[in-house]
Amino acid sequence: VSEAPVSFEDVRAQLQRCVEAERGVRLLLRRDSTDLNALLGRNPCPGLPKNLRVEYTIAGHDSEKLTSSEVVTGSGYQRNFITSKKAVVFVEVEDDEYGR
């Protein structure tokens, strides 16, 4: 049994357009209606199982700002920082009955 070559396609721009189409609120990929080949441009490995790895960062909000008057920087200013949330999602992608 030979192993398939490891390769990847950078589809950040295509996924970013999907997020922007949802007004920056979410990435929506529906199993029953999203054609990933059309969306991402092509099927990089026809007939082979694929993984779509989505790594994202959600910017923090002012309500999550952490301020402590006792904690200051070396220059004497208060430390104020807004936390962001990061995650990685893996989606298994299989070809349909038409090889897409």
Query: For residue 60, what pLDDT is reported?
Result: 66
| Nearest one of 25, 80, 94 to 56, comparing CA atoms | 25
Residue that has been written with the tokens 């721009």 in this structure: 13
Q: Is 69 helix (H, G, I), strand (E, B) or coil?
A: strand
Reported as a single tens digit per residue, the pLDDT across 4-47 is 667 788 889 999 999 999 888 888 888 888 888 888 888 888 88
* Whole-prediction pTM: 0.61
Banded pLDDT at 79 (limits 50, 70, 90): low
Query: For residue 72, what pLDDT is reported?
Result: 62
Residue 66 pLDDT exceeds 60: no
Tell me the pLDDT of the chain averaged across its residues: 77
DSSP states along 7-68: -----HHHHHHHHHHTTTS-----TTT--HHHHHSS-SSTTS-EEEEEEEEE---GGG-EEE
Phi, psi of 12 (to 5 degrees): -60, -45
Query: For residue 45, what pLDDT is reported?
Result: 81
